[in-house]
A and B are shown apart, each in its own frame.
Chain A
Amino acid sequence: MKEQWRLLKTNFSTAFTNMAVDRAVLVTSSEGKVPPTVRFYGWKPSAISIGYFQSLEEEVDLDTCRKLGVDYVRRITGGGAVFHEEELTYSIVIPEAHPQIPKNILKSYGRICGAVMKGLENLGIESKYVPINDIITGGKKISGNAQTRKAKIVLQHGTVLTDVDVDKMFSVLKVPNEKIKDKLIADVKQRVTSIKHVLGKEIRFEDVAEAMKIGFEEEFNVELAEGVLSKEEKELTKKFEEKCFSARDWNHRR
């Protein structure tokens, strides 16, 4: 019988809730209270997440965010700034010691990205993992990923772009040199793609989630059983949302 992991489909939430849920599951997982957990989610309203080590004000145009109603949040994972709009985001929370997870961090990126690649394959998209943390198709990025390890638990979350508006993305993200902004936007348009662009048609969020579910099941040879957040996870989510991810101290700390 296949090992059973928990699947959470939390649909669309704010940036603060989304980051708080990932952290809450990391906590309950570190206490051995929940099985390995895969979650699929989206962002409403659109939001920017920045990496743990990034400076909020250097990366994000806060005024434009306010005007457009785009939220911003600092992640507990490293990596770069991401504009979350038309995408499916996944997270996986699993003990470091689990036999399916390589001890080596880079190898574990590759392994988890393997699940996303199988998910894309189920949608008819061939892709490959490009270290450190990207998945590309036809030479263009379709998924970015970031991992942290805390309390002997691996948390990796990442995006699968369903569509992308590069012009809007650069209206809310700052670039190091304004003089070359136009060129940078043109470059990014060449380097980033989406499911819609590759397939030439729109795919529903639910269908991407189903393809990814099967991708994770295939990659890890497990069964994902749909579950819900525990009472404790809901309480932790509320706490992390209020005290951390929506707090100025956290988001402006660098």
Chain B
Amino acid sequence: MQSKSIYKVPNGKLLKISLDYDEKNNSINKINIMGDFFAYPEESIESMENELKNTILEKESLIKKINSIIKWYNIEFIGLHAEGLTEGILMCKK
């Protein structure tokens, strides 16, 4: 199932998610994280997209996974954060 969302992160930037997900397993097949936010280093967004594959589309699992990726790759977001990214991803299912 493919879906898109546009989410204005509170006090942040405009996040655009393009999501391909498995309805049966409620998990991510493929995700593109786009928008006018900042992330350092920039290339880490591709790692984030790869690492999110197969993550369950549920708030707690997503936040936990995203925070662990941020820590592992030492990512610094400006205008975006784990909660905002989670919200943008879950909006694709609404």
Contact = CB atoms under 8 A, between A and B. Distances in A.
Interface of chain B, main secondary structure: strand
B60 interface: no
B40 A81 contact: no
A254 B78 contact: no
Contact of A53 (B18, B33, B41): B33
Interface in B38-52: 38-42, 45
Interface residues of A, number: 23
Given A53-B45, A76-B42, A150-B41, A105 B36 contact: no
Taking residues whose C-beta sits less than 8 angstroms from the other chain, chain B's interface range is: 20 to 34
Given A55-B16, A132-B78, A81 B36 contact: yes
A132 B34 contact: no
B42 A52 contact: yes
A77 B38 CA distance: 8
Nearest to B40: A149
A78 B34 contact: no
Contacts of A235: none
B36 A80 contact: yes
B35 interface: yes
Contacts of A254: 32, 34
Nearest to B42: A52
A54 interface: yes
Contact of A176 (B6, B42, B45): B6
Contact of B38 (A58, A81, A147, A150): A147
Contact of A58 (B16, B37, B78): B16
A53 B32 CA distance: 9
Nearest to A78: B38
A79 B12 CA distance: 11
A176 B15 CA distance: 12
Contacts of B6: 176
Greatest chain B CB density within 10 A among A53, A58, A106, A148 is at: A53
Interface string B5-26: 0100000011010100000000
Given A106-B78, A132-B79, A176-B6, A54 B34 contact: yes
A132 B77 CA distance: 12
A-B residue pairs, 8 tightest by C-beta:
A80-B36, A78-B38, A52-B42, A55-B34, A51-B36, A53-B34, A79-B36, A132-B79
29 contacts: A51-B36, A52-B42, A52-B45, A53-B34, A53-B35, A53-B37, A53-B45, A54-B34, A54-B36, A55-B18, A55-B32, A55-B34, A76-B42, A77-B38, A77-B42, A78-B37, A79-B38, A80-B13, A80-B36, A105-B38, A132-B13, A132-B79, A133-B38, A146-B38, A148-B40, A148-B42, A149-B40, A254-B32, A254-B34
Interface of A: 51-55, 58, 76-81, 105-106, 132-133, 146-150, 176, 254
